[in-house]
Structure 1
Amino acid sequence: MARTDDCGAFWENRYRETERMWTGAPNELLVREISSVGPTTALDLGCGEGGDAVWLAARGWQVTAVDIAPTALERVRDAARATGVAERVTPMCRDLACGPPPGEFGLVVAMFLHSPVGMPRGEVLRAAAQRVAAGGTLLVVGHSGAPSWQPRTSPHTRLTTPDDVLAELGTTVRGWSVDLREMYEAPMSRPNGQVGFRVENALRLGRPV
């Protein structure tokens, strides 16, 4: 496996190469699953440019937004200021391979936390689950397939199912409720502008009180 410092360099270069990598909109599954949850504290793992973190903050959550790329976090700050929620978003540059930030959170989200280099995803998710407060929620969403117009995805990106993620979490989440376990097709734009899709997976767990 590549060193985790390679992971930081990879993602920082990716963000520097483009003015905007993501749309800035929150992930639809996050909106669907969390809109009805009362806001407390949230930990956003691999937050990217902050679409999810800003959406949560706008709904009253106090969000710690973690990413390994400083350029991405600058965009999080800009987005939070532009939306008027800067006081509710704390961007944090951190290599998750070294563990999540300390504390407990009512919500921990890992939205498409994949990396082609240097990230022990299973270890990261297990450590993150330990940060979920009693009565809190863990939401993990990831890729289960390549885009429909590609024959395969990167050989370094491990594709998962909800059962794979549950197995990775192992005894860390023993006794937790499984509130969502699904695979679904998400529409996405092809390079030529036509609409394709990608198979994704989602796992939502609740920690007992």
Structure 2
Amino acid sequence: MTTTDAATSWDGVYAARPAATDPRPNVRLTETVTGLPPGDALELGCGEGGDALWLARQGWHVTAVDLSAVAVERLTTLARSLGLGDRVTAERHDLGATFPDGPEHGFDLVTAHYLHTPHELDRAAALRRAAHALRPGGRLLVVDHGSTAPWSWNQDPDAHYPGPQEVADGIALDPAVWTVERAASPRRTATGPDGTTAEVTDHVLVVRRTAA
């Protein structure tokens, strides 16, 4: 599938449902970031924008990117309507080909929540580039599915969900420059699009850049 086809597919996903008016942030974001001093953040795969808006409300300046132009346009409009337009910049990027420009000193935080796609993407390369976009002291937060929820698009019973250490190994960062701060697989009760709930596993990886 070409990038154009993938973008059209994701545009269709978002266009098929009403625009969110108050999207919720991911719990793994709030538990990780609460208490950190605000700075410059980059979100990979912003979707409806719950994480970007939450970060902006905490004082962060956020660059939020997605392959879907529909998602990007909706987040831009929503951020402005909430008075957060000066703190949220939404951009369309195919992370396999382009990457957003960051501040000269680098980002203080890069987040990637559930950056899974049925379309072709060298995810490890994108996450490696994200880690290199951090300033010293900055953190990369990667949260992946660790189990199949009833509403997941992938219902393959043999699906493999790489653990956080496996993800870290795939990114292959120099341990002299980046340190794994957290590699865990916590469980939580999640709510699906139709309101049903189920217990799911998250794979959580936090990597901190400790050297230039």
Note whether the superposition's TM-score is higher than 0.5.
yes
CA drift of 1:195 comes to 2.2
Contact 2:21–2:78 (CA under 8 A) maintained in structure 1: no
Q: How does 1:1-209 map to 2 (within 5 A)?
A: 2-20=1-19, 24-103=23-102, 104-147=106-149, 153=155, 159-172=161-174, 174-189=176-191, 193-209=195-211
What SS does the aligned partner of 1:91 have?
strand
Structure 2 CA distance for partners of 1:172 and 1:125, relative to 1, 3 Å: farther
Structure 2 distance, partners of 1:123, 1:131, is 12
Structure 2 distance, partners of 1:94, 1:193, is 31
Contact 1:42–1:63 (CA under 8 A) maintained in structure 2: yes
Question: Mind listing any 5+ residue stretches in structure 2 that lack a counterpart?
Answer: none
Structure 2 distance, partners of 1:172, 1:23, is 39
CA drift of 1:119 comes to 1.6
- Kindly provide the CA deviation profile for residues 37-69 of structure 1, in whole angstroms up to 9, marking residues without a partner as x: 101100000011111001111111111010111
CA drift of 1:191 comes to 7.0
Question: Mind listing any 5+ residue stretches in structure 1 that lack a counterpart?
Answer: none
CA drift of 1:124 comes to 1.1
- Kindly provide the CA deviation profile for residues 86-125 of structure 1, in whole angstroms up to 9, marking residues without a partner as x: 1011110111111421232110000111101122211111
Structure 1 distance, partners of 2:148, 2:2, is 25
Structure 2 CA distance for partners of 1:6 and 1:186, relative to 1, 3 Å: farther
TM-score, normalised by the number of residues in structure 2 = 0.87
What SS does the aligned partner of 1:87 have?
coil
What SS does the aligned partner of 2:64 have?
strand
Contact 2:128–2:173 (CA under 8 A) maintained in structure 1: no
Structure 2 distance, partners of 1:88, 1:110, is 19
Count of residue pairs the alignment pairs up = 207
Contact 1:6–1:118 (CA under 8 A) maintained in structure 2: no
Q: CA RMSD, aligned part only?
A: 2.5
Structure 2 distance, partners of 1:23, 1:153, is 29
Bigger helix share: 1
- Kindly provide the CA deviation profile for residues 131-152 of structure 1, in whole angstroms up to 9, marking residues without a partner as x: 11111010000111111587x6
